[in-house]
Amino acid sequence: MSRALRRPGARHLLGAGLLGAAGTALAQGSGGPGATAPVDVQRIANGVLGVMSYAVAPDVTTSSLAIENAATSNPALTMVQFGGGFTWSDATPLYLEGNAAYASYDPVFIASAGGDQRPLPVQWRAVSATGGVGWDFPIAGAWVFRPLASVTLGHVASDLTAVRWWRPQQGGDDLDFLDSGQLEAYGLGGALMIDYQSRAPDLEDDLELRYTHVELRSYADSSEGVRGQALAESLSLWARRRTPTGLVVWDRPLRWVFEGAYTRFLGSETKLGIDRIASLGVGLELDASAHEAWLTRWRAVVRYRFGPDVLGWSVGLAAGF
């Protein structure tokens, strides 16, 4: 479930564990309302990849992201992300991570045919997947340094079905892309992480500092005339503490979960008007390790998210093994 917290002039950030809904008019910064055909398809392509850049790394601040359209208060962007990472074992400190994301974005452009001008509501559907491989190098005690290489693949489809009957006949590559066009993208880059994990019978602490840098580009299978690029770059700090509640469930202590996160966006993500987001969360965690179960931990966390002109809350669900 999700709920916007409103204040004058604020963008509204919504989330719901596995669902998020949002809409800031990327079109307004990319030849949107007030523009006339031909649309700047280069900026469109860059903007599409800019939206995708939010999802190249697992991050609780953007796992379900929503930005309301200030003019209509109507969500037009839905972005959902599933992801996580783990170290293979103490003996083999190979670190693996992956995440998959889906985005549905509905910008509105203005096109002209002679003296007639009409809005073109476009539907964009994007999917992306990122995989990363790293290695843990011990620093001291429970601290490790983790370099990570990653690869991203993405696909965006554009559709003008709702107004295809009116489409201007001489649109060129710009309207050709908006009407049933496709954009294929790949990203290469990586991350540098400093990770701390402390384990005790009654207390567990996790702390992670991460710098991510991935360059996204379209490639040859994209529609004719459509080429885009974007930079996914961010610096994030994440911390979590687990403490017993005093209750026992499934023969193991039921634990409180306290969480905090801060992400500073440094790349193309800032073009949507968000340069940083913070998150505070509290929840509960069940431990099923006393029984034969593939998934040994179940966690639910309520998160409050905030930043410059941004605030909202989300409910996150997670399982571990």
| Whether residue 174 has pLDDT greater than 60 | no
* Residues 13-56 pLDDT 10s: 333 332 232 222 333 333 333 333 445 666 667 777 777 787 78
Total structural domains within the chain: 1
- How far apart CA 139 and CA 196 sit, in angstroms, is 10
Q: How far is CA 310 from CA 14, 263, 284, 305, in A?
A: 10, 13, 26, 8
Q: Which residues contact 192 (CB under 8 A, 6 or more apart)?
A: 145, 146, 147, 148, 210, 211
Is the predicted pLDDT of residue 197 greater than 90, yes or no? yes
C-alpha closest to that of 212 among 67, 74, 94, 57: 57
Task: Give 60's contacts (C-beta < 8 A, 6+ positions apart).
Answer: 238, 259, 261, 279, 281, 303, 316
CATH number of the domain encompassing residue 124? 2.40.128
Structural domain containing residue 310: 3-320
Q: Are the CB atoms for 306 and 320 separated by under 8 Å?
A: no
What mean pLDDT do residues 262-291 have?
A: 87
Mean pLDDT of 226-232: 82
pLDDT band per the 50, 70, 90 thresholds, residue 66: low
Residue 32 is predicted with a pLDDT of 37
Where residue 116 falls among pLDDT bands split at 50, 70, 90? low
Average pLDDT (112-125) is 68
pTM summary value:
0.78
Average pLDDT of span 159-168 = 53
